[in-house]
Amino acid sequence: MSVDSKGKAQKHYPYEAMMTPYDKFQTLPQPAQYLMPGRTLQQLDNSTTAISDNEAAKHLNAAKRKLYQRIFEQKHRTA
């Protein structure tokens, strides 16, 4: 950690240590214990590789738009 000229602390992470949340999850001792009952690490692996990161982002953005649209419509119905 370093401090910039304004006194703000800046964290520095080595590129080799950067991980996705799923990669970090896999580094835990016995990660399977944290899964929902009936789920396996193999099922989780399969679902994480089923679509690309870009495709997942498209799905996420579409779901957000749908959610925001529902909120907007509900807000205008009650007003």
Task: Give residue-wise pLDDT tens across range 29-75.
Answer: 999 999 999 999 999 999 888 999 899 999 999 999 999 999 998 88
Query: Structure pTM?
Result: 0.54
Cα dihedral across residues 46, 49, 51, 54: positive or negative = positive
Decide if 35 is inside a domain.
no
Decide if 59 is inside a domain.
yes
Decide if 69 is inside a domain.
yes
Decide if 76 is inside a domain.
yes
Q: Which residues contact 12 (CB under 8 A, 6 or more apart)?
A: 1, 2
Q: Residue 25: is its pLDDT beyond 80?
A: yes
H or E element: which one contains 3? strand 2-3
Decide if 13 is inside a domain.
no
Q: In this predicted structure, what is the pLDDT of residue 79?
A: 62
Decide if 42 is inside a domain.
no
State which residues form the domain around 60.
Answer: 52-79
**How many folded domains does the chain comprise?**
1
Decide if 68 is inside a domain.
yes
Q: In this predicted structure, what is the pLDDT of residue 47?
A: 87
